[in-house]
């Protein structure tokens, strides 16, 4: 087991290295300059621009720029082009903003998908099943921003409460409980919006997983023994159906960064996705690269975690996994 | 795909997992008459899925619309999407164009705006028609690219996986590369590349294609690995059939089913991705109209001209839904394990 | 069945927890009426976040907006766009002019040129009737002794491989005697007026080679380069305009530290410090020295005539005690930086830029990136505290959600688009103000391309576009037709110039008179070539996109084939605009209040990466542009700018389209408070001021609980 983990970790470290080189080259070779190097600004003279380029190492050869980036990243002194603030600090603050949204959305996905999916499986072919199937596909198919706007318009018109941003302004004097609840309310709609798609997919997955398990011998046996339907479904079937879901926890991590640019943009949520988006617009290379790097590390950590979880819960798979990361 | 714009890639992975892990979503239905070929069988199964059939009709309609749209807006200009008629801006659907304001040459076909006009007085119906072709071609070409790469790499890895190149096998090399690609948050990657490159329609197609082949590659490889051990392939190989023949005559046709399913769903994802990019201002640029950029432009006028927002939005929803339903229908109909029961 | 129970209970509980939070949130109604703190809070929505809150380092609108509230300059602009004292109470502009004594010359009367002789001659001449005007302006004349000056010059040389490299050459210039004139007013023609006394050709030549010593042996090619630079470094006749500022006493920064002349000098030094990479260096480059005779006096000496230079002093003044070398050292120590980071550490890296301390009306409270910036009023402000207690800039990136927040009262202001303004104008809840700003939009033709070389062709293209229709339908009247290169709300703009008429037939006739004939396909053709070109702009600007579409449509009607293309901003600049490799562009300028058009229109500025990218080249215009920037008398400037405006309007290098109106839509509950001396208050409806800056009286705004009626 240790050797398995060690080998996987080493492989992934190599991957991270390759990913970072790839990302670095793509971004530096693409046309366009950081927005600080702004030739359209009549105040800037060619000498000023040359100075800025030098300060950003933009004229150094590519491999040297890569080396500077890694050096600064490692020492934690990497600075954003845009405002010269330490990149890691910026990312950390945005991470803290994204976290509640991410947790809330994940909770919604996982708690709502299971009952829906199980019910659908139990009533296969019935109106409930067909309705949820159709609803799930509709949610997968609707452009996220289209639905969000409709929901925002609806909530604002009908209930007259603010939904944009992290909190309501002008509540600084309200009691802490009110302020907390206000913050929770501002979480509801953006997290629901970003959870809908995941909920639809997961509930479909739960449904098919349950259907498969229900047909297995041990479930039939349990049923034949005269166990009640609930016991059959929730004790025998569900437990076995859960196995593959263990691996999905691993895939949750990267969702933090990939986050959702679009929902953060609509709901004015200052999260990681928007940090990345703004950085792309300003060609703030250190921020883009570092975010990409962290995303890659998280993805790999996630797959590692799911491999290990899988290997732990199902030893048969261990050998198979070694070839297929 | 729910967080479609956010993490299409990961979700797509989930969908693939569904296909891998869902060995038999439905128990045996009935005894099959032996005379049926597999394709006839699939067709019959597909027909039983009413949602999928409805989706298929929608897609047929869409295909016709796209072709007619191309013909009628560009070759034989019946509906001109580019005529600007400032005095007739923001007219709601089914408004009749006034002959006093607009010269005969500029009037819309039949003198009526079926879906209203936009902020420049352009005919929304004509723009939607034109957009249907562009939107569809983005979906198809992006998926085409992604399938080509996915099948090639997956096939190589699955068939020649054991061939050694120096210290590593072909399989290791390709699969590690696939892993590298999976490390990038897909939408973020697309956004980065599209934002940094000049915004041409081809770049968008290529970028979507280049960032979405990993799922296909992985299951084509898995399918090939499984097929290689099947009797008919072993037999073909043992009688000395050439690799090319084994691959194209025996393996590809058998691996095509999941590819078809993922292609259908891939087109849906590509259309959604394009609309997400349009929302952020990095979508297809004029003069091409796509449903995505009509929607993104229309959102600013939601209080003034709601049809500019709802028409393209609903159109995208219906079409993407149709693709997804057909994809799901195909998945169930083509699933050989399901058939065998 | 625990599992089942929990599977159903968990989502239920979660949903209840989330949904019940709704009941704790105040509705918009309550926010506006029941919450007293909201009434003294002004919330503005911005689509982009600020980058750096330091007046000498920022270059973006959001940052300058906030920096403008936190920091204060020596001057600002009053209601009529004239200067008004802020940290400075008053200021005078005068001049010292220097004339090199050139011994190789002879005076007109044949006598030898020496310092005393020259000074005496001029002194004597000034007594005469002919020079009375000049004499009024001369305060004193003084002869300065000769003095050697050592200079390091940068020259180009070929290295071993034949590649040009920069090289520094050290030389000593023996500055001869000089006559210094102290003048009351700046006079760009001062030396020209003296020519009858000193001789017509006096200014034309100076024997630099006789006064120069090289510190090392250099090849002749480099010597030639050095000599070429000398007339600029040591001109025969030199103008040194001076500004003397008297500073306001008793002003304190937000941390209580007193403001004085040292802060002004520090700010100037910080801008010129190349390590800080200030984007404002070029504004202050004409300054020769900033002197501080005492704690409340600042004298700025300029190297040459450059009248717009005074504008630079509207920039906010930094507190020296928080940013000087000691403070930087302390910050580096506190943050425990590595050696490499210390070496690179400059003002740009300081945390000051995220926690600015200035002396303006509002002091900084906190900044949550991409969420909001919070300011609170400065009760210690020398002009008295503002009415609003808190100021928030909320960052709401999406334009539609901005509007939703505004409609429901969660923000007081956002950048309204014209079609929204049209809607709010009909709504009784809101008041709206539209006024001219400093920007305008245009279609620029690459004047170097043969297709656009003829002004008549450019005129015809302009006449084909119905700009009025565009303003009416797309901007809903929130734009004003313009005819020339100045913002129409400044006095530099000549209101008497008539715009091009909309007349497609005449446009077509004009093109036909230049040899363009309609071909079978309906396109104009000359010598077998179709009139076809590419019109480009940057992507992401809906108005420009519409201009493109409309221009394309309009030109199609007269047989001109125009292809439109959109490029991302960086690509657009790098590949097309900077290289001059384009046919026509749709763009806009955001101008300053000064009349200097050197960078945009002077023919010397048409190279790569320069702003006269359309390659406009007109000798008369060049001459006018230079005279305007050297003139300090606003009336004279005005005559000159009107002439320049007419000239450019005649030539049509751009099709000048319109200047967008800046619009502010506000709740009617926001009013202007007039405080009488006895402390009584009177409310007044907010009114636009002549300069167009609606925020001019912002410090006197207040939000009332009920909508007042006036």
Which two three-digit tokens encode residue B230? 């099947």
Range of weakest confidence among A57-66, B20-29, C49-58, C379-388: B20-29
CA distance C10 to chain A (A): 6
Residue range A14-40: mean pLDDT, rounded: 78
Backbone φ and ψ of C606, nearest 5°: -100, 10
Q: Percentage of residues in chain A with pLDDT exceeding 70?
A: 88
CA distance B322 to chain C (A): 29
CA distance B150 to B178: 10
| Between C465 and A15, residue with greater pLDDT | C465
Cβ neighbours of residue A314 under 8 Å, at least 6 residues apart?
Answer: A243
Interface test with C, best of A170, A235, A236 (most C CBs within 10 A): A170
Tell whether the model's pLDDT for residue B30 goes beyond 60: no
B6 to A263: CB separation less than 8 angstroms, yes or no:
yes
Could you say which of C18, C394, C574 has the minimum Cβ distance to residue A165? C394
SS3 C245: strand
pLDDT tens-digit series, residues B321-333: 999 999 988 888 8
| A205, A117 Cβ separation under 8 angstroms | yes
Place of tokens 């009114």: C687
SS3 C382: coil
Q: What are chain C's partners, defined as 3 or more CB pairs within 8 angstroms? A: A, B
Q: Which residues from B are below 8 Å from C564, CB to CB?
A: 286-287
- H/E element, C420: helix C418-425
pLDDT at B21: 37
Closest CA to C150 of C178, C169, C137: C169
User: With an 8 Å Cβ cutoff, is A267 touching chain C?
Assistant: yes
User: With an 8 Å Cβ cutoff, is A31 touching chain C?
Assistant: yes
Three-state SS annotation for C495-546: CCCCCCCCCHHHHHHHHHHCCCEECCCCCEEECCEECEEEEEEECCCHHHHH
pLDDT at C93: 95
pLDDT tens-digit series, residues A109-165: 889 988 899 888 888 878 898 899 899 999 999 998 999 999 999 988 888 888 888
Please identify among residues 60-79 of chain A the ones whose CB lies closer than 8 Å to any CB of chain B: none
Q: What is the DSSP letter of C239?
A: E
Range of weakest confidence among B40-44, B202-206, B321-325: B40-44
| Between A228 and A20, residue with greater pLDDT | A20
CA distance C51 to A207: 49
| Between C534 and B253, residue with greater pLDDT | C534
Which portions of chain C are predicted below pLDDT 50? none
SS3 C618: coil
SS3 C699: helix
Q: What is the DSSP letter of C577?
A: I
A161 to C25: CB separation less than 8 angstroms, yes or no:
yes
B286 to C469: CB separation less than 8 angstroms, yes or no:
no
Please identify among residues 283-302 of chain A the ones whose CB lies closer than 8 Å to any CB of chain C: 283
Could you say which of C1, C280, C408 has the minimum Cβ distance to residue A230? C1
Instruction: State the sign of the Cα–Cα–Cα–Cα dihedral C570, C576, C577, C583.
Output: negative
| C390, C375 Cβ separation under 8 angstroms | yes
| C70, C363 Cβ separation under 8 angstroms | yes
User: With an 8 Å Cβ cutoff, is A250 touching chain B?
Assistant: no
Would you call A230 exposed, middle or buried from its count of C-beta atoms within 10 A (0-12, 13-18, 19+)? exposed
Backbone φ and ψ of C219, nearest 5°: -65, 160
| A233, A147 Cβ separation under 8 angstroms | no
C280-to-A224, A283, B203, C527 alpha-carbon distances in Å: 84, 22, 38, 50
Tell whether the model's pLDDT for residue A54 goes beyond 90: no
CA distance C469 to B205: 37
Q: What are chain B's partners, defined as 3 or more CB pairs within 8 angstroms? A: A, C
Place of tokens 């306001």: C248
User: With an 8 Å Cβ cutoff, is B84 touching chain C?
Assistant: yes
Closest CA to B210 of A22, A261, A255: A22
User: With an 8 Å Cβ cutoff, is B89 touching chain C?
Assistant: yes
CA distance A48 to chain B (A): 24
Q: Which residues from C are below 8 Å from B281, CB to CB?
A: 539-540
Please identify among residues 10-49 of chain B the ones whose CB lies closer than 8 Å to any CB of chain C: none
Could you say which of C420, C474, C540 has the minimum Cβ distance to residue B281? C540
CA distance A288 to chain B (A): 8
- Please give the residue of chain B at the shortest CA–CA distance from C542: B297
Q: What is the DSSP letter of A324?
A: -
pLDDT at A321: 43
CA distance C609 to C604: 12
SS3 C596: coil
Q: Would you call the peptide bond into B287 cis, given omega within 30 degrees of 0 as the criterion? A: yes
Could you say which of A146, A204, A258 has the minimum Cβ distance to residue B185? A258
Cβ neighbours of residue C504 under 8 Å, at least 6 residues apart?
Answer: C463, C464, C554, C557, C558
User: With an 8 Å Cβ cutoff, is A201 touching chain B?
Assistant: yes
Would you call A6 exposed, middle or buried from its count of C-beta atoms within 10 A (0-12, 13-18, 19+)? exposed
pLDDT at C310: 92
B184 to A11: CB separation less than 8 angstroms, yes or no:
no
Closest CA to B49 of B79, B65, B66, B26: B26
A197 to B11: CB separation less than 8 angstroms, yes or no:
yes
Q: Which residues from B are below 8 Å from A244, CB to CB?
A: 17, 21
Please identify among residues 82-141 of chain A the ones whose CB lies closer than 8 Å to any CB of chain C: 82-85, 90, 93-94, 97, 104, 107-108, 111-112, 114-115, 118
Closest CA to C355 of C331, C336, C333: C331
CA distance C564 to chain B (A): 8
CA torsion, ordered A231, A233, A236, A238, to nearest 10 deg: -130
Could you say which of B198, B286, B304 has the minimum Cβ distance to residue C568? B198
CA distance B96 to B73: 20
Closest CA to C423 of C663, C701, C660, C659: C663
- Please give the residue of chain C at the shortest CA–CA distance from A91: C369
pLDDT at B232: 82
Tell whether the model's pLDDT for residue B11 goes beyond 60: no
Which two three-digit tokens encode residue B49? 């899925």
pLDDT at B27: 47
User: With an 8 Å Cβ cutoff, is A50 touching chain C?
Assistant: no
Would you call C67 exposed, middle or buried from its count of C-beta atoms within 10 A (0-12, 13-18, 19+)? buried
The pTM is what? 0.85
CA distance B225 to chain C (A): 39
Alpha helix segments (H runs only) across chain A: 2-29, 46-55, 62-75, 87-122, 127-141, 144-159, 176-214, 217-224, 229-230, 238-241, 243-258, 261-266, 272-282, 285-313, 317-323
| C449, C467 Cβ separation under 8 angstroms | no
Residue range B103-116: mean pLDDT, rounded: 84
């Amino acid at each position: 087991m240790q050797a398995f983990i060690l080998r996987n970790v080493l492989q992934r470290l190599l991957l991270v290295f390759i990913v970072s080189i790839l990302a670095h080259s793509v971004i530096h070779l693409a046309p366009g300059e950081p927005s600080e190097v702004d030739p359209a600004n009549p105040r800037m003279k060619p000498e000023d621009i040359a100075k800025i380029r030098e300060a950003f190492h933009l004229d150094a050869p590519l491999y040297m720029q890569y080396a500077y980036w890694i050096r600064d990243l490692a020492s934690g002194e990497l600075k954003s082009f845009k405002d010269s603030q330490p990149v890691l600090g910026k990312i950390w603050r945005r991470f803290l903003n994204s976290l509640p949204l991410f947790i809330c959305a994940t909770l919604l996905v996982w708690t709502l998908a299971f009952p829906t999916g199980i019910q659908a499986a139990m009533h296969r072919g019935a109106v409930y099943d067909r309705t949820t199937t159709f609803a799930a596909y509709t949610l997968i198919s609707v452009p996220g921003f289209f639905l969000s706007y409709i929901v925002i318009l609806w909530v604002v018109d009908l209930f007259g409460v603010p939904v944009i941003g992290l909190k309501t302004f002008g509540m600084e004097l309200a009691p802490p409980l009110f302020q907390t609840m206000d913050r929770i309310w501002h979480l509801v709609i953006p997290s629901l919006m970003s959870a809908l798609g995941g909920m639809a997919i997961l509930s479909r997955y739960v449904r098919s997983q349950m259907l498969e398990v229900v047909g297995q011998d041990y479930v039939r046996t349990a049923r034949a023994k005269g166990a009640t339907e609930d016991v059959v479904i929730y004790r025998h079937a569900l437990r076995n159906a859960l196995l593959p879901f263990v691996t999905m926890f691993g895939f949750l991590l990267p969702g933090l960064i990939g986050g959702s640019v679009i929902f953060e943009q609509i709901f004015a949520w200052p999260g990681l996705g928007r940090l990345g988006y703004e950085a792309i617009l300003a060609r703030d290379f250190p921020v883009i690269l570092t975010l990409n790097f962290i995303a890659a590390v998280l993805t790999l950590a996630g797959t590692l975690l799911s491999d290990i979880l899988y290997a732990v819960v199902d030893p048969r798979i261990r050998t198979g996994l070694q070839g297929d990361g | 795909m729910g967080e479609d714009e956010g993490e299409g890639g990961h979700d797509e992975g989930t969908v693939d997992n569904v296909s891998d892990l869902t060995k038999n979503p439905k128990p045996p239905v009935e005894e099959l008459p032996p005379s049926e070929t597999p394709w006839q069988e699939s067709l019959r199964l597909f027909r039983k899925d009413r949602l999928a059939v409805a989706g298929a009709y929608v897609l047929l309609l869409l295909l016709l619309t796209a072709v007619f749209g191309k013909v009628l807006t560009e070759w034989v200009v019946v509906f001109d999407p580019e005529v600007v008629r400032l005095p007739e801006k923001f007219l709601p659907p089914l408004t009749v164009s006034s002959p006093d304001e607009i010269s005969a040459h500029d009037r819309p076909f039949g003198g009526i705006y079926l879906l209203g006009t936009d902020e420049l007085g352009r005919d929304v119906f004509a723009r939607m028609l034109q957009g249907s072709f562009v939107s569809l071609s983005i979906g198809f070409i992006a998926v085409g690219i992604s399938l080509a790469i996915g099948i090639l790499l997956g096939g190589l890895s699955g068939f020649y996986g054991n061939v050694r190149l120096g210290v590593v096998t072909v399989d290791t090399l390709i699969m590690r590369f696939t892993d590298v690609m999976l490390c990038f948050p897909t939408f973020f990657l697309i956004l980065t590349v599209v934002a940094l490159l000049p915004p041409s329609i081809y770049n968008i197609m290529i970028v979507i294609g280049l960032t979405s082949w990993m799922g296909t590659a992985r299951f084509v490889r898995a399918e090939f690995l499984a097929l290689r051990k099947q009797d008919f392939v072993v037999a073909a190989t043992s009688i000395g059939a050439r690799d090319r023949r084994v691959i194209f005559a025996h393996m590809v046709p058998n691996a095509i089913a999941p590819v078809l399913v993922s292609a259908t769903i891939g087109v849906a994802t590509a259309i959604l991705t394009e609309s997400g990019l349009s929302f952020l201002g990095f979508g297809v640029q004029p003069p091409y109209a796509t449903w995505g950029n009509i929607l993104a432009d229309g959102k600013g006028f939601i209080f003034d001209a709601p049809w500019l927002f709802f028409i393209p939005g609903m159109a995208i929803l219906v079409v993407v839904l149709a693709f997804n339903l057909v994809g799901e229908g195909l998945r169930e109909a083509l699933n050989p394990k399901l058939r065998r029961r | 069945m625990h599992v089942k129970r929990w599977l159903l209970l968990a989502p239920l509980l979660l949903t209840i927890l989330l949904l019940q939070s709704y009941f704790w949130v105040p509705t918009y109604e309550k926010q506006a009426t029941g919450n007293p703190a909201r009434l003294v809070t002004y919330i503005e929505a911005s689509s982009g976040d600020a980058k750096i809150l330091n007046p000498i380092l920022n270059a973006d609108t959001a940052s300058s907006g906030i920096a403008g509230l936190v920091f204060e300059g020596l001057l600002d602009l009053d209601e009529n766009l004239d200067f008004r004292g802020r940290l400075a109470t008053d200021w005078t502009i005068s001049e010292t002019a220097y004339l090199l004594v050139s011994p190789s010359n002879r005076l007109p009367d044949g006598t030898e040129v020496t310092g005393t002789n020259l000074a005496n001659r001029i002194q004597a001449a000034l007594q005469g009737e002919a020079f009375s005007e000049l004499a009024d302006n001369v305060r004193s004349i003084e002869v300065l002794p000769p003095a050697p000056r050592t200079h390091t010059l940068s020259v180009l040389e070929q290295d071993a491989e034949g590649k040009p490299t920069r090289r520094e050459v050290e030389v000593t210039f023996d500055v001869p005697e000089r006559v210094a004139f102290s003048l009351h007013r700046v006079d760009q023609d001062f030396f020209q007026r003296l020519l009858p006394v000193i001789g017509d050709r006096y200014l034309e030549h100076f024997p630099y080679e006789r006064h120069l010593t090289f510190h090392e042996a250099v090849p002749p090619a480099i010597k030639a380069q050095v000599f070429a630079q000398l007339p600029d470094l040591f001109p025969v006749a030199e103008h040194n305009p001076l500004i003397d500022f008297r500073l306001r006493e008793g002003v304190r920064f937000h941390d209580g530290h007193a403001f004085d002349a040292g802060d002004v000098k520090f700010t100037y030094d910080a801008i010129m410090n190349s390590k800080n990479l200030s984007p404002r260096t070029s504004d202050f480059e004409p300054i020769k020295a900033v002197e501080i005779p005492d704690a409340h006096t600042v004298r700025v000496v300029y190297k040459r005539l450059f009248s717009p230079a005074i504008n630079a002093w509207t920039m906010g003044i930094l507190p020296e005690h928080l940013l000087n070398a000691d403070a930087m050292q302390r910050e580096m120590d506190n943050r425990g930086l590595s050696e490499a980071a210390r070496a690179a550490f400059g003002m740009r890296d300081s945390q000051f830029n995220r926690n600015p301390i200035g002396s303006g009306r509002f002091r900084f409270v906190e900044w949550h990136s991409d969420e909001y910036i919070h300011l609170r009023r400065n009760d210690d402000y020398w002009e008295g505290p503002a009415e609003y207690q808190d100021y928030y800039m909320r960052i709401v990136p999406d334009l539609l959600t901005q509007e939703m927040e505004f409609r429901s009262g969660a923000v007081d202001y956002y950048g309204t688009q014209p079609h929204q303004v049209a809607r709010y104008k009909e709504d009784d809840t809101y008041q709206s103000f539209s006024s001219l700003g400093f920007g305008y939009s245009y279609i620029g033709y690459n004047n170097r391309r043969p297709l656009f070389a003829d002004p008549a062709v450019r005129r015809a293209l302009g006449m084909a576009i119905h700009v009025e229709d565009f303003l009416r339908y797309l901007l809903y009247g929130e734009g004003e037709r313009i005819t020339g290169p100045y913002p129409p709300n400044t006095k530099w703009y000549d209101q008497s110039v008539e715009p091009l008429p909309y007349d497609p037939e005449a446009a077509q006739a004009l093109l036909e008179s230049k040899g363009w004939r309609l071909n079978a396909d309906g396109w104009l053709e000359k010598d077998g070539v179709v009139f076809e070109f590419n019109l480009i702009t940057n992507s992401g600007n809906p108005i420009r996109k519409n201009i493109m579409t409309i221009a394309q449509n309009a030109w199609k009607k007269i047989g001109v084939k125009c292809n439109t293309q959109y490029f991302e901003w960086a690509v657009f600049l790098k590949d097309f605009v900077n290289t001059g490799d384009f046919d026509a562009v749709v763009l806009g300028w955001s101008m300053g209040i000064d009349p200097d058009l050197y960078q945009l229109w002077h023919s010397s500025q048409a190279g790569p990466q320069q702003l006269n990218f359309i390659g406009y080249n007109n000798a008369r215009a060049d001459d006018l542009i230079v005279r305007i920037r050297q003139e300090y008398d606003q009336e004279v400037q005005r005559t000159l700018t009107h002439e320049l405006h007419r000239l450019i309007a005649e030539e049509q290098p751009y099709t000048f389209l319109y200047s967008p109106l800046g619009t502010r839509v506000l709740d009617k509950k926001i009013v202007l408070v007039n405080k009488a001396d006895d402390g009584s208050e009177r409310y007044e409806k907010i009114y636009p001021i002549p300069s167009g800056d609606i925020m001019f009286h912002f410090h006197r705004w207040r939000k009332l609980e009920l909508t007042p009626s006036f």
